Amino acid sequence: MLHIHLRFYEELNVFIPQEFRKKRFSHTLKVQTSVKDLVESFNVPHTQVDMILVNQKQVDFSHIIKDHDDISVFPYFHRFKIEAISKISHPKPEIIRFIADNHLGNLARDLRMLGLDTLHNERFIHHELVEQANSQERILLTKDRNILKRNDLNFGYYVYANQDADQLAEVVLQFDLADKLSPLSRCLRCNAILEKIDKDKVLDRLPQRVKHTHNSFTYCPHCDKVFWKGTHIDRMTEKLDTILETMKVPNKNKPHRTQSTLRTIGGINAKRK
């Protein structure tokens, strides 16, 4: 039998039983095991761990636990990077792209709003999410801790926040995306990149007032929808402005303080050619 002491810090406490949260506690192991297996035995996905100290010294996931070890487990440090000093390495795809599980539909839409490549399909089940993530080298964003324990998942991240704006800020900070944003460049429905299109090519699809007041249009080649800039206050742009301001990122798409929106023809549905 091995007798150890253990503590999980900050947001990692959401995964462990209430009686062990935010404190150092004793634990008994029947056999030696790796620190990775120990961490996951407490329902903490290893994808969420950024640093582990054993007896005040850094170790990686392969470290084998010994009797009387004192173990501290830390989450990601969102406000500063410790990759250069941490012995734990989480591989990332060369190009940061996402796939969101069925609990994170709003987050998927918001990531697309910032121009970030994000797949989402509410019908996907676990193995389909993992297959899509792996085959396309995407990071799986999830609220399901169990899917992150799968050995066949290459890239994954548990989203802690519950509110939409907080989730978006968390992901942008976690993956250091502040300088990679291109707001309102993707279709919010299907994720395709919007293309500029000449007015004369969509003139017969425009409402009369738009024909006389707008000259710049974008087009989704997948959804067959046309978009143009509006002048009314829009909840989507307000949300974008608030989030970017929180992260101190300027909204390059905003010529006026709470204006500049994209609207689809006929509201939600666009006319087909």
The model's pTM is 0.81
Mark whether 146 and 211 lie in a shared domain: no
Mark whether 205 and 168 lie in a shared domain: no
Spatial neighbors of 223 by CB under 8 A, at least 6 apart, are: 187, 189, 190, 192, 270
Residue 22: predicted pLDDT:
95
**Residue 132 CB burial class (10 angstroms; 0-12, 13-18, ≥19):** middle
Residue 81 lies in a domain: no
CATH assignment of the domain containing 67: 3.10.20.30
Residue 190 lies in a domain: no
Residue 184 near residue 262 (C-beta atoms within 8 A)? yes
5 phi, psi to nearest 5 deg: -120, 145
| pLDDT by position in tens, the chain (length 273) | 999 999 999 999 999 999 999 999 999 999 999 999 999 999 999 999 999 999 999 999 999 999 999 999 999 886 666 666 788 888 889 999 999 999 999 999 999 989 999 999 988 888 999 999 999 999 999 999 999 988 899 999 999 999 988 899 899 989 989 888 888 899 989 999 999 999 888 888 888 888 888 888 888 999 988 888 764 436 667 767 776 676 665 554 443 322 333 333 333 333 333
Please give the Cα distance from 70 to 93 (Å, whole number): 33
Q: CA 59 → CA 5, 34, 36, distances in Å?
A: 16, 11, 10
Residue 80: predicted pLDDT:
67
Domain of 256, in residue numbers = 195-264
How far apart are the two ends of the chain, measured CA to CA in Å?
72
Mark whether 62 and 10 lie in a shared domain: yes
Residue 124 lies in a domain: yes
Residue 187 lies in a domain: no
Mark whether 30 and 103 lie in a shared domain: no
Strand partners, 220: 225
| Amino acid (one-letter) located at 192 | A
Residue 153 lies in a domain: yes
Q: State the pairing for strand pair 139-142/156-158.
A: parallel
Residue 245 lies in a domain: yes
Residue 260: predicted pLDDT:
33
Mark whether 70 and 10 lie in a shared domain: yes
Residue 261 near residue 236 (C-beta atoms within 8 A)? yes
Please give the Cα distance from 68 to 71 (Å, whole number): 9
Phi-psi region at 57: left, alpha or beta (left = phi > 0; alpha = psi -120 to 50)? beta
Please give the Cα distance from 256 to 231 (Å, whole number): 9
Mark whether 174 and 199 lie in a shared domain: no
Residue 258 near residue 238 (C-beta atoms within 8 A)? yes
Mark whether 104 and 174 lie in a shared domain: yes
Residue 83 lies in a domain: no
Mark whether 108 and 173 lie in a shared domain: yes
Residue 64: predicted pLDDT:
97
Residue 86 lies in a domain: no
Residue 266: predicted pLDDT:
31
Mark whether 258 and 203 lie in a shared domain: yes
> Residue 266 is encoded by which pair of tokens?
């006929």
Mark whether 170 and 102 lie in a shared domain: yes
Mark whether 205 and 251 lie in a shared domain: yes
Domains identified in the chain, total number = 3
Mark whether 162 and 215 lie in a shared domain: no
